[in-house]
Amino acid sequence: MNYRFLALVSGLVVSAVVATAPVAGQAGATGARPNGSPPKAYAAPRTPDGQPDLQGIWTNATYTPLERPKNVTKEFYTPEEALQLAKRAALEESDQTEPGTVADVHYDFTQFGLDRSQGTMALNLRTSLIVDPADGRLPPLSAEGQRRAAERAAARKSRGGPHDSVQNEPLSARCILMDRNGPPMLGGAYNNDYQIMQAPGYVMILTEMLHDARIIPLDGRPHLPPNVRQWTGSSRGHWEGQTLVVETTNLTDKFAFQGSSENMRLTERFTRVAEDTIRYQFTVEDPATWTRSWSAEVPWKKTIGPIFEHACHEGNYGLYNTLAGARAEEKRAAEEAAKKKSPK
Amino acid sequence: MRMRRAVVGVGVALLLAAAPVMAHHAFSAEFDINKPFKFRGILTQWEMINPHSWFHFDVRDESGTVVSWMIEGGSPNQLIKQGVTKHTLAIGTEMTIEGYQAKDGTNKGVGRNLVLADGRRLFLGGAASSPDNKPAGK
């Protein structure tokens, strides 16, 4: 952290807030910008076969939380508040942790350009990504949702400790799936980039991390049969005016988005609202989990490439090291216990 | 740092979710908080790979014997966007590495700080894309 970096953050944040304000405003209840002027009409360019052109490299990096903080009651920050918050979040992220703490057992994000303020970031005036319910928070769990959450917790416990076996490690550590993949696709700490490509009848979304190509047919074909379940489900798309609408079903109960069930039905909407911005909205319908449907929205900002292949298994020595570390600790603990039992 | 943060944060009583310092896996499970180290090493290989890059060093121990260490760093994806390539960092570069050793006791560690002989921190914050501040290690 240095003053040059602070200046960089300030510049980035100012431009991002200004650029994103109309996006936040258009989605507001009045449909107008926060300053009251009407939203500017933007028509996306067209691909040679006539689809609105969403192609390019985009990022959904954000400091905005999915759920509204409990001490916040409004839907939007003022640009000044958003600027202050983004500066503080950037400082905290680049500070990371205090030396000597457990969380400090980590490389320095800033040395690898991985803190969000070093990259492109569309700042949102919204106080939460969730736009519905109006309180910006996940709806209550349904009775079935509560029961399943308890069952999942019990099942996890019965499998032992988090490092007892490779299957107990999170999907991310096993290079299977990350929050960037979704769906829905939400940013994480870093590498929040996507490449959209369009061909007649198809849209392809490449997720940088973990390098997953999501191929979405647009030809009206039905979803996969109900017995076929996939990590990222079965996605089918169509155009509604300027908006690409993608419906996803056939998810698996091996992966739960915020506690969702395998029968979650997800509708995502991609609208290019400016040359450098896509408005990404999604609605989750899952009565087996929540008492009502809910929706969220996050801007995707155009960014630079290339996207380097995130070949996750290639250098995933960490998985081995973690398991080896856990076994070494068990051995040490057993030896100490044995010493205590039979002191010489 | 605390002072600057306090100045920036003043007047805003609203909280964002804490910025997660969370990578692809739990580093605290891989490395031991009770085994910090600091030594000088000569770079012998940089694996510019995902999910995390790995730096290989030759390190002279207290008895004068050269031993090999592997140091885990971050995903290289953003560095590549900033113009850093696997040739940016020359083999043979000397660095001071501060970090924590693997829990299994082998010569592996996480590189909390990688500092070049002239005191510059490796790849620090956007330096790679700044024309008057060439990528470290060149």
Q: Do A72 and B14 touch (CB under 8 A)?
A: yes
Q: Which of A127, A310, A315 sits opposite B77 (nearest CB)?
A: A310
Subunit contact B17:A190, Cβ cutoff 8 A: no
What ipTM was estimated for this complex?
A: 0.85
- CB count within 10 Å of CB A291 equals 12
**Separation between Cα atoms, residue B46 and residue A145, nearest integer Å:** 47
B61: in domain: yes
Is residue B63, in this structure, part of any structural domain at all? yes
Q: Do B26 and A322 touch (CB under 8 A)?
A: yes
Query: A177-199: per-residue pLDDT in tens?
Result: 998 999 999 999 899 999 999 99
Q: What sign has the CA pseudo-torsion A229, A308, A199, A22? A: positive
Contact B72, B111 (CB under 8 A): yes
Domain count along chain B? 1
Vertex A15 angle, CA A14 and A17, to 5°? 65
Range of the domain at B67: 23-129
- Whole-number Cα distances in Å, A154 to A150, A158, A257, A276: 6, 6, 18, 46
The answer as to whether B6 is a domain residue is: no
**Closest in B77, B100, B126 to A5, CB measured:** B126
> Among candidates A329, A100, A110, which has minimal Cα distance to B98?
A100
What pLDDT is attached to residue A28? 36
pLDDT given for residue A59 in this prediction: 97
Average pLDDT (A31-57) is 78
- Tens-place pLDDT, residues A198-248: 999 999 999 999 899 999 999 999 999 999 999 999 999 999 999 999 999
- Most confidently modeled of A98-107, A245-254, B73-82? A245-254
pLDDT above 60 (res A46): yes
Domains of chain A in start order, with CATH, are 1-41+76-125 (no CATH), 45-63+139-309 (2.40.128.20)
A307 at B interface, C-beta within 8 A: yes
In this structure, which amino acid lies at residue A256? A
Distance from CA of B101 to the nearest CA of A (A): 9
* Predicted confidence (pLDDT) at residue B132 exceeds the cutoff of 60: no
Is B8 within a domain? no
- Residue B122 in any domain: the answer is yes
**Which has more confidence, A38 or A173?**
A173
Residues of chain A contacting B32 with CB distance shorter than 8 Å: 105, 325
Collect all residues of chain B within an 8 Å Cβ-Cβ radius of residue A118: 78, 125-126
Q: Which of A65, A106, A112 sits opposite B17 (nearest CB)?
A: A65
- Give the domain CATH number at B90: 2.40.50
Chain A residues touching residue B103 (CB < 8 angstroms): 321, 324-326, 328-329
Residue B15 maps to a domain: no
Q: How confident is the model at residue A342 (pLDDT cuts 50, 70, 90)?
A: confident
Q: Is the pTM for the entire model greater than 0.90? A: no
Would you call B25 and A173 a contact, using CB atoms and an 8 Å cutoff?
A: yes
pLDDT score of A281 more than 50:
yes
